[in-house]
Structure formats: structure tokens, C-alpha cells
Amino acid sequence: MSTLSRRTALRGAALAATTGAVLATPPATAGPRGEEAREAFTVRDHRGRQRVLADTRRPPVLIGGRVIPAEQRQGPANGTYLIFNDENGDERGGVVAGASQASVSLDYVNAQAITLGTQWQGQHGATALFFKQMPDPSLPVEQTPPMPTRVELVWSTADGSVLALNDSRGRPRIVLAVDAQDVPSIRVLDENGAVVGQLGL
């Protein structure tokens, strides 16, 4: 991969606070130096609901009383996952770390809200912060449409630094950039992506 797309370089799980939990772990095995080794552990509250999960494999998503298969979660299959759940057991955020990417995410009730992440390969890399529009919170997760990204703050070796402010359909309307050659610019775009105002060298 010679470049990294700023829209697809970063995705992860999500993050939120937890309280009042007890620890439950699967059987341990001996590590290479004799210490106990576990592939995963779960912290549950007094009602038995998951509040924190640490896993060395991509876990399923618990939300709205449903279990969404692990295959539908973005992220590396064998990365490090730290997942946080609210008092109802629903996922509200997490941290993901892999060999070529890492991210922290926060969730709305039924959709991802904020993602901060980085990805790299060889001499190429990217770091980004995405803010998503909030959907109707009354919709169940399976009926929630994809939400547009409203703010993108990105640096990449290919594109330099970019701040894009997007409209309600996810279309960039104001773009501030300092490209990889250190050339600054400010562009204002219409709904079709045409430049209607520009300031740059």
C-alpha cells in the first residue's frame, strides 16, 4: 500500500466509564516464562452484565440486547481489544491496538460517535479524528442508517494536514489544508463539490 486513504485508514471500537464490577476470567495457562496467560477476561457487575472486556481476538458487539457477530466488527482479527459497556451491558466504547493500527472510539446509543486513530505501513502513515452525526436514538441498531462524518481532522504522509467541515450528507463544504509540500489552502465548496471560494498560494 503506497498511500493511506484518510477516510478508510482509521476505525475502531469505543470507550466509556464503568463502576461496581467483579472480575470473571477463563482458565489460565502457563506463559513462556511460567506466568499465567489468558486470551481474555471479562469484568461483570452484580447482575452478571459485561462492563469491561479485554480480549486478544476480535470480540462480538453487545448492543440493544443483541449479540452482533465478531466478523461484523471492524479491526484486526487478532488485535488487542479493550471494550467498555454501560450499566445495561451495551457497548459504549473501546480501544483497539494492532500491528499496523490503533484507535480509541466513543459511541452514541446506536452508532459510533467519535474515532481517534492511527495507521501505518512502511514509510506511510496517517492519524485522524472523526466526528459522526448522531442518528435518531430511538432506532434499534439494526435499523440505524450509516451516519455521515461531520468533521475530519487528518494528517497523512500522502496528503499532509487536512481539516474538513462537512454538511449533513457528509459532503466537505470547508476544507483547510497544508499539503505534503507545505502549501496551505482554504477551500469553500458547494453541494456538488465545486469550489466557490478559495484562498491559497
CATH number at residue 115: 3.90.930.1
**pTM tops 0.85:** no
Instruction: Give CA–CA dist 80/54, Å, rounded.
Output: 7
**Residue 82 resides in a domain:** yes
14 belongs to a structural domain: no
List the helix and strand counts (H, then E) for the chain.
0, 17
Return all residues near 36 (Cβ < 8 A) that are at least 6 apart. 28, 29, 30
Calculate what percentage of the chain has a pLDDT beyond 70. 82
What is the span of the domain harbouring residue 192?
21-200
* Residue 164 forms part of a structural domain: yes
Cα separation, 41 vs 59, in Å, equals: 12
In total, how many domains does the chain have? 1
How does DSSP assign 132-176, residue by residue?
Answer: EPP--TTS-GGGPPPPPEEEEEEEETTTEEEEEEE-TTS-EEEEE
Note the pLDDT tens digit of each residue in 69-91. 999 998 999 999 999 999 999 99
pLDDT at residue 15, rounded to an integer: 28
User: Is 181 part of a structural domain of the chain?
Assistant: yes
Residue 5 lies in a domain: no
- What does the block give as the cell for 14? 469505543
Amino acid at the residue 121: Q
Q: Examine residue 143 and state whether it is found in any structural domain, yes or no.
A: yes
User: Does residue 9 have a pLDDT over 50?
Assistant: no
Residue 118 lies in a domain: yes
The answer to whether position 15 is within a domain reads no
